């Protein structure tokens, strides 16, 4: 049984991690495309229309992969997590079904119009299609976050006679305070990914001295939006999310921070390796009292360590949780440094000649993906050993009839298929970037 549990967890972890590489770009990029379309409309400038069309191509490829890798996510609740679905389907089925009915139809309709209808719709109609794609994808994000937030912090439910969980308040489910902060934190993370990708492509054009006019537009827009996003990500979004964890999942906070013992004036660990067996942090680099301040806004406040909680409620992979959290926070800090310097140079008017800074922007492309992924690992590994926090253990949630062997078969299949998709994806994206925003006068066909 333990074996099947591991495979089912790997199955979901692998498919969802891969899937989220695409929406994190498209959700953020949808916003940047709306800004480009707005600039095009306001200034009546074909340059911005072309820029938007270029990003629409990248958007379309990412969106297609997001859609095809997203369908397995909804299905897996039933295929691999049947016991969980049976107990909680009446609640989380609500938000998942709403996502289908309210956002997927909206997105698919307006994406079709956005990609195929620019000529027939005219500039205003096309702006509207872009805006609706943005709205649809951000609505979709909310409903998924609300689903996850309910698993992190269940609200608005009752437990029925045979152990099933019944929805008792629709609005509590939708307006879960956890969902609101997690949503802002997550969507802003998507904007950060899109800004770094756009800045990276722009910097690549400037450094290789082609499509330089577009390179400037991309870097300018990406850094302008990016500098705001990276700062907001630290405060208030990340901070609020962290305090949410501290309040509702204190054992998770202790594990994330590698805090084994309860302390007054608890320090925050910048570096260090948690040794769970010996219950200590090796080679720690600490900022004294910082954790107490961040969680309770008092320097000498007491922060509960892992020692305060029964071991069966500890997250089951503390090192992974600790490292993913530290990778996310560490990268977030570096992003602030990069974007603030870039924005300062942009303001001074020296950014486009600063080859060093352009190199940094170009090479930073993978890091927001890593940070977003690490953030999600923190959230999901941090919720363990529960699938619904405090209500249902992950081990109780798997499909009782699906053997480890069958789950391995499909996991290997997904791995093979996603490897092929990755190669195709990189190849096609490379071609779009290589050809640039002005591949001849003829409109490329779909």
Check residue 146 for interaction with another protein (CB under 8 A): no
Site for another protein in 217-256 (CB under 8 A): none
Binding string, 369-408, against another protein, x = CB under 8 A? ------------------------------xxxx---x--
Q: In terms of DSSP bridges, do strands 157-159 and 302-303 run parallel, antiparallel, or are they unpaired?
A: unpaired
Q: Which residue among 23, 118, 138, 188 contacts another protein (CB under 8 A)?
A: 118
Choice between 4 and 338, CB closer to another protein: 4
CA 67/CA 75 separation, integer angstroms: 13
Neighbours of 262 (CB within 10 A): 15
- Mind giving me the DSSP string for 137-161? HHHHHHHHHHHHHHHHS--SEEE-T
Check residue 102 for interaction with another protein (CB under 8 A): yes
Q: In the structure encoding, which two tokens stand for residue 376, read together? A: 């999600």
Q: Which residue among 12, 77, 131, 150 contacts another protein (CB under 8 A)?
A: 77
Q: Which residue among 44, 105, 175, 430 contacts another protein (CB under 8 A)?
A: 105
C-alpha angle 370/150/94, rounded to 5°? 110
Q: Which residue among 3, 44, 97, 347 contacts another protein (CB under 8 A)?
A: 97
Q: Which residue among 3, 43, 45, 116 contacts another protein (CB under 8 A)?
A: 116
CA 157/CA 329 separation, integer angstroms: 33
Q: Which residue among 6, 71, 124, 355 contacts another protein (CB under 8 A)?
A: 71
Check residue 334 for interaction with another protein (CB under 8 A): no
Q: Where are the alpha helices (DSSP H) in 153-211?
A: 170-174, 177-207
Choice between 378 and 399, CB closer to another protein: 399
C-alpha angle 337/342/345, rounded to 5°? 130
Site for another protein in 286-315 (CB under 8 A): none
Check residue 122 for interaction with another protein (CB under 8 A): no
Choice between 116 and 359, CB closer to another protein: 116
Among 30, 15, 110, 27, smallest CA distance to 70 is for 15
- Mind giving me the DSSP string for 351-403? GGG-HHHHHHHHHTTHHHHHHHHHHHHHHHHHHTTEEETTTEEGGGSS-TTS-
For residues 394 and 400, the answer to whether their CB atoms sit within 8 Å is no
Neighbours of 15 (CB within 10 A): 22
Q: Which residue among 10, 83, 207, 320 contacts another protein (CB under 8 A)?
A: 83
CA 263/CA 194 separation, integer angstroms: 40
Check residue 109 for interaction with another protein (CB under 8 A): yes
Check residue 75 for interaction with another protein (CB under 8 A): yes
Q: Name residue 293's beta-bridge partners.
A: none
Among 228, 32, 23, smallest CA distance to 131 is for 32
Closest distance of CB 166 from another protein, Å: 4
Choice between 116 and 299, CB closer to another protein: 116
Closest distance of CB 359 from another protein, Å: 30
Check residue 33 for interaction with another protein (CB under 8 A): no
Among 413, 394, 372, smallest CA distance to 186 is for 372
Count residues near another protein (CB under 8 A).
Answer: 74
Q: Which residue among 21, 113, 291, 361 contacts another protein (CB under 8 A)?
A: 113
CA 325/CA 374 separation, integer angstroms: 6
Choice between 129 and 230, CB closer to another protein: 129
Closest distance of CB 74 from another protein, Å: 6
Q: Which residue among 24, 26, 80, 137 contacts another protein (CB under 8 A)?
A: 80
Stretch that binds another protein, among 92-100, 298-306, 325-333, 340-348 (CB under 8 A): 92-100
Choice between 38 and 406, CB closer to another protein: 406
DSSP state of 302: E
Site for another protein in 403-442 (CB under 8 A): 406, 409-410, 413, 417, 421, 424, 428, 431
Closest distance of CB 94 from another protein, Å: 5
Check residue 108 for interaction with another protein (CB under 8 A): yes
């Amino acid at each position: 049984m333990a074996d099947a549990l591991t495979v089912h967890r790997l199955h979901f972890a692998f498919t969802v991690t891969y899937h989220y590489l695409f929406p994190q770009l498209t959700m953020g990029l949808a916003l940047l495309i709306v800004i480009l379309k707005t600039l095009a409309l306001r200034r009546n400038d074909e340059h911005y229309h072309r820029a938007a069309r270029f990003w629409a191509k990248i958007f379309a490829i990412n969106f297609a992969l997001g859609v095809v890798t997203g369908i397995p996510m909804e299905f897996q609740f039933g295929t691999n997590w049947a016991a969980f679905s049976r107990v909680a389907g009446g609640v989380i089925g609500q938000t998942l079904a709403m996502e289908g009915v309210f956002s997927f139809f909206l997105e698919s309709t307006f994406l079709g119009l956005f990609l195929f209808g620019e000529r027939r719709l005219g500039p205003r109609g096309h702006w509207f299609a872009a805006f609706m794609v943005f709205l649809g994808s951000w609505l979709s994000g909310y409903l998924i976050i609300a689903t996850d937030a309910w698993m992190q912090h269940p609200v608005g439910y009752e437990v029925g006679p045979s152990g099933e969980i019944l929805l008792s308040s629709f609005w509590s489910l939708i307006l879960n305070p956890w969902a609101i902060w997690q949503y802002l934190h997550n969507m802003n993370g998507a904007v950060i990914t899109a800004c770094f990708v756009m800045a990276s492509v722009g910097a690549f054009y400037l450094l290789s001295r082609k499509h330089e006019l577009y390179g400037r537009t991309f870097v300018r827009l990406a850094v302008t939006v990016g500098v705001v996003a990276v700062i907001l990500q630290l405060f208030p979004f990340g901070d609020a999310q962290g305090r949410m964890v501290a309040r509702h999942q204190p054992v998770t906070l202790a594990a994330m921070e590698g805090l084994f013992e309860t302390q007054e004036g608890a320090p925050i660990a910048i570096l260090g390796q948690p040794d769970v067996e010996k219950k200590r942090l090796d080679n720690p680099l600490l900022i004294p009292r910082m954790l107490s301040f961040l969680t309770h806004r008092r320097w000498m406040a007491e922060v509960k360590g892992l020692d305060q909680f029964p071991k069966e409620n500890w997250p089951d992979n503390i090192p992974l949780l600790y490292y993913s959290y530290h990778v996310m926070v560490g990268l977030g800090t570096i992003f602030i440094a990069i974007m603030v310097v870039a924005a300062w140079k942009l303001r001074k008017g020296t950014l486009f000649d600063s080859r060093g800074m352009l190199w940094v922007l170009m090479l930073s492309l993978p890091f927001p993906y890593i940070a977003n992924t690490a953030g999600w690992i923190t959230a999901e590994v941090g919720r363990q050993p529960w699938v619904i926090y405090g209500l249902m253990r992950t081990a109780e949630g798997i499909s009782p009839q699906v053997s480890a062997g069958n789950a391995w078969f499909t996991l290997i299949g997904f791995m093979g298929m996603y490897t092929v998709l990755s190669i195709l994806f990189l190849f096609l994206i490379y071609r779009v970037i290589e050809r640039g925003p002005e591949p001849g006068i003829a409109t490329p066909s779909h």
